[in-house]
C-alpha cells in the first residue's frame, strides 16, 4: 500500500465572493497533531489553488482530501446531462465544460454554467427548478446511493442547490479547481496512484466525525476540548485549541487526522462497488467501503 508522510484536509466553500470563512486547511504530518495552515486567515479559492500547486511542484508525499464532489451522477442515465448534446463523456471533460461556461466568473464561481440554457434544466436553484431536475432525493452517484443504503453517510444530490445541506455550488467551484490541477496532481480513483508525490481524494468530513465517535447528525465540533477528545479517538495528539472553535477549522483538523488513521489500510482504496467506468465518470468518496 502506498505510504504518505503528510495528510491534508480542505474544507471548501462554494459561496460567492473572493474570500470565504468557510474555507479551512489542516495538515497532519508524521505522528504530530494536525495543525491549521495559516490559522485565522480568511482564504480565497485562488490562494488555495496556489497552495495546492506548490505542493504539486514540491512533489510532497501528501494525501489531500477535499470535501466537495468531483462529478455529478452519470451511471443512472448514461450521461451527466441527458438531452444536452454537449453533455461530456467523463469527469475531465465535465470539468472542462464547467470552466468553459463559467470562465468569466470571478473567484472560481459558476454562475455562467448555472445560467446556461441547457445546464439550468438539470438543477434545482433558489426560485427555479429545471424541467429535468429529478424530484425526490434528486439524482445520486453510485457512491451516494451506496453510502445511503449502507448508512455510512447521508448524501444530497449535487443537482440540488437549495438548503443548508446542499454541496452542488461548492462542487461546481471545486470542479474549476480540479480542471486546473488535472494532469498536475492525480485524483483517486480517476488516476493511477503514483509511487510518490501528492494525491487528491474526495472526502466527507462527517466520516471523520463518525469514526471519532460523534453521533449521526451531530458531527460539527465547535469546542476545543471536544475536538481534542475526538482527535484522541482517532489516535491523534491533541490540537490544543481552547474555547470556541470554528466548525470549518475543526472539520479540517479532524479530517486530516482521520485520513492519517485510515490511509494505510487497504479497505478505503478498494471499495467493492468501484469499477473502472465509475472511476472515470463519477469517482468515489474515500472511506466509503
DSSP string, the chain: ----SEEEEEE----SSSB-TT-EEEEEETTSPPEESSTT---BHHHHHHHHHHHHHHT--EEEEESS-SS---TTTTSSSTT-TT--SSHHHHHHHHHHHHTTSGGG--HHHHTSTTGGGG-EETTEE-TTPPSTT----HHHHHHHHTTS-----TTB--STT--HHHHHHHHHHHHHHTTTS-BTTTSPPPSSS-EEEE--HHHHHHHTTPPTT-----BHHHHHHHHHHTT-------SB--HHHHHHHHHHHHHHHHTTSSGGG--TT--HHHHHHT--BTT--
Whether the pLDDT of residue 217 is over 80: the answer is: no
Q: Residue 83 domain-assigned?
A: no
234 and 205 share one domain = yes
Q: Residue 281 domain-assigned?
A: no
Residues 63-77, mean pLDDT to the nearest whole number:
97
97 and 236 share one domain = no
Q: How confident is the model at residue 216 (pLDDT cuts 50, 70, 90)?
A: confident
Residues with Cβ within 8 Å of 104's Cβ and at least 6 positions away in sequence, in order, are: 112
167 and 228 share one domain = no
* Dihedral angle over CA of 78, 186, 1, 229, nearest 10: -90
63 and 194 share one domain = yes
Q: Residue 250 domain-assigned?
A: yes
Q: Residue 62 domain-assigned?
A: yes
Look up cell 475536538; give the residue.
Answer: 227
Q: What is the mean pLDDT of the chain?
A: 95
105 and 158 share one domain = yes
Q: Residue 285 domain-assigned?
A: no
pLDDT for res 165: 81
Query: What does residue 29 show for φ and ψ, rounded to 5 degrees?
Result: -110, 135
Residues 67-88, mean pLDDT to the nearest whole number:
97
Counting Cα atoms < 13 Å in the Cβ hemisphere of 284 gives 22
Burial string for 120-134 (b: 16+ CB within 10 Å, else e) reads bbbbbbeeeebebbb
Beta-carbon count within 10 A of 280 CB: 17
Whether the pLDDT of residue 105 is over 80: the answer is: yes
Q: Report the predicted TM-score, pTM, of the whole model to 2 decimal places.
A: 0.96
64 and 203 share one domain = yes
pLDDT for res 149: 93
Q: Residue 52 domain-assigned?
A: yes
Q: How confident is the model at residue 215 (pLDDT cuts 50, 70, 90)?
A: confident
Q: Residue 24 domain-assigned?
A: yes
What is the extent of the structural domain holding 161? 91-180
170 and 203 share one domain = no
Whether the pLDDT of residue 103 is over 80: the answer is: yes
Highest mean pLDDT among 55-69, 157-171, 208-222: 55-69
Q: Which of 180, 210, 228 is the last residue of a domain?
A: 180
Whether the pLDDT of residue 111 is over 80: the answer is: yes
Do 90 and 80 meet the contact criterion of CB atoms below 8 Å apart?
A: no
Burial string for 210-237 (b: 16+ CB within 10 Å, else e) reads bbbebeeeebebeebeebbebbebbebe
pLDDT for res 137: 80
Query: To the nearest whole percent, how much of the chain has pLDDT over 70?
Result: 100
Count of structural domains within the chain: 2
Q: Residue 174 domain-assigned?
A: yes
Task: Give CA–CA dist 22/24, Å, rounded.
Answer: 7
Counting Cα atoms < 13 Å in the Cβ hemisphere of 76 gives 14
pLDDT for res 205: 93
From the number of C-beta atoms within 10 Å of its C-beta (0-12, 13-18, 19+), residue 4 rates as: buried
Q: Which of 127, 159, 180 is the last residue of a domain?
A: 180
Amino acid at each position: 500500500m502506498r505510504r504518505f508522510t503528510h495528510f491534508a484536509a480542505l474544507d471548501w466553500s462554494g459561496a460567492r465572493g473572493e474570500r470565504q470563512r468557510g474555507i479551512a486547511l489542516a495538515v497532519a504530518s508524521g505522528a504530530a497533531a494536525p495543525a491549521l495552515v495559516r490559522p485565522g486567515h480568511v482564504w480565497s479559492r485562488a490562494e488555495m489553488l496556489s497552495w495546492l500547486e506548490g505542493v504539486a511542484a514540491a512533489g510532497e508525499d501528501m494525501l489531500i482530501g477535499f470535501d466537495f464532489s468531483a462529478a455529478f451522477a452519470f451511471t443512472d442515465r448514461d450521461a451527466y446531462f441527458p438531452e444536452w448534446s454537449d453533455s461530456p463523456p467523463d469527469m475531465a471533460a465535465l470539468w472542462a465544460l464547467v470552466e468553459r461556461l463559467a470562465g468569466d466568473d470571478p473567484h472560481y464561481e459558476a454562475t455562467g454554467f448555472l445560467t446556461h440554457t441547457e445546464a439550468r434544466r438539470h438543477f434545482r436553484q433558489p426560485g427555479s427548478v429545471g424541467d429535468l431536475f429529478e424530484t425526490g432525493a434528486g439524482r445520486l452517484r453510485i457512491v451516494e446511493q451506496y453510502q445511503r443504503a449502507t448508512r455510512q453517510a447521508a448524501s444530497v444530490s449535487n443537482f440540488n442547490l437549495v438548503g443548508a445541506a446542499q454541496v452542488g455550488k461548492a462542487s461546481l467551484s471545486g470542479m474549476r479547481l480540479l480542471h486546473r490541477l488535472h494532469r498536475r496532481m492525480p485524483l483517486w480513483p480517476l488516476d493511477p496512484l503514483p509511487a510518490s508525490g501528492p494525491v487528491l481524494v474526495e472526502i466527507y468530513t462527517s466520516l471523520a466525525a463518525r469514526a471519532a465517535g460523534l453521533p449521526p447528525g451531530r458531527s460539527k465540533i465547535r469546542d476545543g476540548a471536544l475536538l481534542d477528545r475526538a482527535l484522541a479517538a482517532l489516535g491523534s495528539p491533541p490540537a490544543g485549541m481552547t474555547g470556541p472553535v470554528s466548525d470549518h477549522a475543526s472539520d479540517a483538523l479532524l479530517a486530516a487526522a482521520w485520513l492519517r488513521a485510515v490511509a494505510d489500510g487497504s479497505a478505503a482504496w478498494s471499495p467493492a462497488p468501484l469499477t473502472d467506468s465509475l472511476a472515470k465518470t463519477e469517482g468515489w468518496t474515500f472511506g466509503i467501503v
